[in-house]
Structure 1
Amino acid sequence: MGTTDSLAGHLRARARWRLDRVQARDGGWNARCALALLDAASYTQSLPDDDPLIAALEEAGCFGAYGCGEFEPQEAVARLIDSWHDGEPWELLTAIPVAAKAGATPSPS
């Protein structure tokens, strides 16, 4: 499975999770999140594995230490994805490396 397939699959899975949530009076929040994630998954699926947006995710360590594993979001990235509800798909893909770098634990000196 390529990097775009892995990321798109993760986004679709999180969209399904949102659709399965039952929260009284959420005002359509879960539905908006699910639609935004499905849109992002579709967009991601259309990108080649060597797209600069995907390369930035690889550099941020989102596909394992060497950039060749499955998409594995850190906690900060998982929170970003799970709360994504508005914006263009490329904006989510641009925000993920920023969240990954911000959420990275500095190594001890």
Structure 2
Amino acid sequence: MGKTDSLAGHLRARARWRLDRVQRADDGWNARCALALLDAASYVHELPEDDPLIVALEQAGCFGPYGVGDFQPGEAVAKLIDFWHSGEPWELLTAIPPVARGEAVPTRR
């Protein structure tokens, strides 16, 4: 499995998890998160393996220590992904590397 397939699969799985959540009065929160993640998964699926966004994820250690494994988000990256609810897919991909390196979670202006 390639890096883009692995990442897109992870994003789709987290979108399914969001869709399966039942929470009272979430005002569409889970649906918004799921749609944003599905959008990101579709975007990622179309990227070439050598796209700078994918290379940045690889360099941040998101595909294992040598960049040869499946997408493996650490706890902070997993949280960022699970709570992603708006923005362009490239914004999510750009936000992941600093979080994976232990830097502050980027804020939106």
Alignment TM class, shorter chain as reference: over 0.9
* Distance in 2, Cα, partners of 1:23 & 1:39: 22
Q: TM-score, normalised by structure 1?
A: 0.93
1:41-97 per-residue CA deviation (whole Å, 9 max, x = no partner) reads 000000000000000000000000010100000000000000000100000000010
Aligned to 1:17, what secondary structure does the other structure show? helix
* Alignment of 1:24 onto 2:36: no
Aligned to 2:72, what secondary structure does the other structure show? coil
Match for residue 12 of structure 1?
Answer: 12
Q: TM-score, normalised by structure 2?
A: 0.93
* Distance in 2, Cα, partners of 1:92 & 1:46: 15
Match for residue 55 of structure 1?
Answer: 55
Two-structure CA RMSD over aligned residues (Å): 0.7
Match for residue 95 of structure 1?
Answer: 95
What amino acid maps onto 2:27 in structure 1? G
Aligned to 2:101, what secondary structure does the other structure show? helix
Aligned to 1:61, what secondary structure does the other structure show? coil
Q: How far 1:14 moved relative to its partner?
A: 0.1
* Distance in 2, Cα, partners of 1:74 & 1:96: 10
* Distance in 1, Cα, partners of 2:101 & 2:87: 21
Q: How many residues align?
A: 103
Q: Identity rate of aligned residues, in percent? A: 78
Q: Which has the larger radius of gyration?
A: 1
Runs of 4+ in 1 over 2 A off after TM superposition: none
Aligned to 1:13, what secondary structure does the other structure show? helix
* Distance in 1, Cα, partners of 2:32 & 2:19: 9
